[in-house]
Structure 1
Amino acid sequence: MKKRLLVSVVDDDESVRESLPDLIREMGFNALAFNSAEAFLESDSVVRTQCLIVDLKMPGMGGQALVSTLRRLGISIPVVFITANQSSAIREQLLGDGAVACLFKPFSDAELSEALLHAVCEK
């Protein structure tokens, strides 16, 4: 049996944490959800995660700070940012900093699928 890749979702929005992992599983991945960047960092899932989907703005540590922390720790995980801020400048900055994708909420299943496939191909 082939082992399914783990996608971790970090978002303070409960509805995202409940629905997005189900969709990711339907796409053939394993999925876990965390309500904060700090909760993700404290988990044992950091080293097992093959793709990180993270909200840009959250209380406490935001998505960019989480990615910076991971890099400082020497952990390289393909990142897909999700955000309600529909700024093309922010998207360009995140992509320029190495993100695989930046999806504006609400995003389609197809956009998510494309981003995940891109992330997996980059690994």
Structure 2
Amino acid sequence: MTADAASIPAAPIVYIVDDDPSIRAALEDLLASVGLAATLFGSTRAFLEAAPADAPGCLVLDVRMPGQSGMEFHGQMVERGNRLPVVFVTGHGDIAMSVRAMKAGAIEFLAKPFDNQELLDAIHRGIALDEARRAEDRHRATLKGRFDALADGEKAVMAGVVKGLLNKQIAGMLGVSEITVKVRRRQAMLKMGAKSLPELVRMSDALAIGSWDD
């Protein structure tokens, strides 16, 4: 794969988990009509057994299915840290179930027969959320790579700088000269790609860099 090809964002995928083949087919046709690709599953187990695609996505999940219910499966997703946005669809829902699903992190809970446009709006919202989450993860990974490349002394100075300590205070805590602190501070800023102190602080927050006592 060329560098240009690797930079092209992957097309989003909508995962549909519903035990009714006719519902799956209808949803696939609906998504195709707006240019969205769908991957279909008849159960949560089949979904889990499939290799996840490296692409932004959204999961359309039926609430009541033989075996494991959609609600139970969503709870397991949350526990495992799976952050794929979920849109619930059901023919047997109620207000209490809807509230429970939304509190658990679902982005929408729609009763069958649902309005097609309402479903599409929810799916597009889920895809946008997943794209933003993936972009944030990539940004954090880039920052972590830069931070890991810092020398230990540069990391220590950076930790003091983002806490608002003066060069003199950092020098005293590390047992080095102020000149050394200034040099390490400059190197840390360059290596992190930070053009200002506020930007360096934001990077530190994104990385959740630990305290002096770590």
TM-score by length of 2: 0.53
Partners of 1:20 and 1:119 in 2: CA distance: 16
2:25 paired residue among 18, 21, 24 = 18
Aligned equivalent of 2:158:
none
Where does the alignment leave 5 or more consecutive residues of structure 1 unmatched?
none
AA partner of residue 115 (structure 1) = A
Q: Name the structure where strand makes up a greater proportion of residues.
A: 1
Are the equivalent residues in 1 in contact too, given 2:10–2:55 (CA < 8 A)? no
Partners of 1:48 and 1:2 in 2: CA distance: 8
Are the equivalent residues in 2 in contact too, given 1:8–1:49 (CA < 8 A)? no
Task: String of CA shifts for 1:63-113, please: whole Å, max 9, x gaps.
Answer: 122222223332210000000124122112211211010010001111111
Partners of 1:77 and 1:55 in 2: CA distance: 15
Aligned equivalent of 1:85:
92
Higher Cα Rg: structure 1 or 2?
Answer: 2
User: Percent of counterpart pairs with the same letter?
Assistant: 33
For the pair 1:60 / 2:67, whether they are aligned, the reply is: yes
Partners of 1:8 and 1:122 in 2: CA distance: 15
Aligned equivalent of 1:76:
83
Partners of 1:3 and 1:49 in 2: CA distance: 7
Partners of 1:115 and 1:45 in 2: CA distance: 21
Instruction: Report how many residues are paired.
Output: 123
- RMSD after superposition: 1.9
Deviation of 1:49 (Å): 6.0
Task: String of CA shifts for 1:6-50, please: whole Å, max 9, x gaps.
Answer: 010000011111111121122222101100000000111376561
Where does the alignment leave 5 or more consecutive residues of structure 2 unmatched?
1-7, 131-214
Deviation of 1:4 (Å): 2.1
Are the equivalent residues in 2 in contact too, given 1:9–1:52 (CA < 8 A)? yes
